[in-house]
Amino acid sequence: MKKVNGYFVMLMASVIFILPACNSIQKMNSKQKGAAVGAAGGAAVGSIIGNNVGKKSNTVLGALIGAVVGGVAGGLIGDKMDRQAEAIKTEVPGAKVTRAEEGINVTFDEKNPDGSAAGVFFGTNQFNISANSRLALAKLVKIFNNYPETNILIEGHTDNVGTPPYNLSLSQRRADAVGNFLKGEGILSNRLTIKWYGETQPKVDNSTDAGRASNRRVEFAVTANDKMKAEAKQQATQKN
């Protein structure tokens, strides 16, 4: 279609956000969902980022939607992401993994089931990586290195203590600290995109100590790189 009018754009936007709620889509496997994406003209469909669906400020959501290939190729990418997501769930304590069509969102619980500290969190006004955070990140790095044909978005966030300009700078330092750790452990810098949002994207309410602790975080979005996409498209063509 050479020309796309406003009504078509509105229709496709509706497809993106309405279809995830349909039981028929949610019950599909990765390959079936990939085909559904293709049938919708490349629109992103599927359940994405749990409670954050619908939040305009959720940039991880936008990144995962924007990376969708769709069709049979998207299903092939989804299969690879399934395996990577399962590895993260199994091997990284505290990791909360959400599969979003052709990508993965990784956040962390603050505590392990036994009550010990877990995941990648920061103290108030801190951006140094704690010993517990290093343990989680080191295990995550091993999995990232086992799946080299992916791009990794790192986002830094803060609670609402302090001024917005200061918190924006603090979230940058947190994201940079995690990015530097990953690079130091062998992740190529061209795989990484680092962004920061200060206090503007809280996961939970900042009115309690526990809520503020959860918001002092980084989170990840994992998507296929150009090589994986090209290979998937080639394989899809061969299947057809």
High-pLDDT (> 70) share of the chain, %: 70
* DSSP assignment of 189-208: GGGEEEEE-TTSS-SS-TTS
Range of lowest pLDDT (42-56, 62-76, 161-175, 202-216): 42-56
> What pLDDT is attached to residue 117?
54
Q: CB within 8 A of 91, min separation 6: which ones?
A: 139, 142, 143
β 103-108/192-196 pair status: unpaired
Q: What is the pLDDT of residues 96-124, one digit of tens each?
A: 899 987 899 998 866 555 555 556 777 78
Largest CA distance in the chain: 58
Q: Measure the CA–CA gap between 189 and 184, rounded to whole angstroms.
A: 10
Residue with tokens 């343990």: 135
Question: Would you place residue 90 in the very low, low, confident or very high pLDDT band (cuts 50, 70, 90)?
Answer: very high
Residue with tokens 């090209």: 230
Q: Measure the CA–CA gap between 181 and 208, rounded to whole angstroms.
A: 30
Exposed (0-12), middle (13-18) or buried (19+): which is 24, by Cβ within 10 Å?
exposed
> What pLDDT is attached to residue 203?
87
Q: What is the pLDDT of residues 57-72, one digit of tens each?
A: 467 777 788 778 788 8
Domain 6-239 fold is 60s Ribosomal Protein L30; Chain: A; (3.30.1330)
pLDDT for residue 170 is more than 90: yes
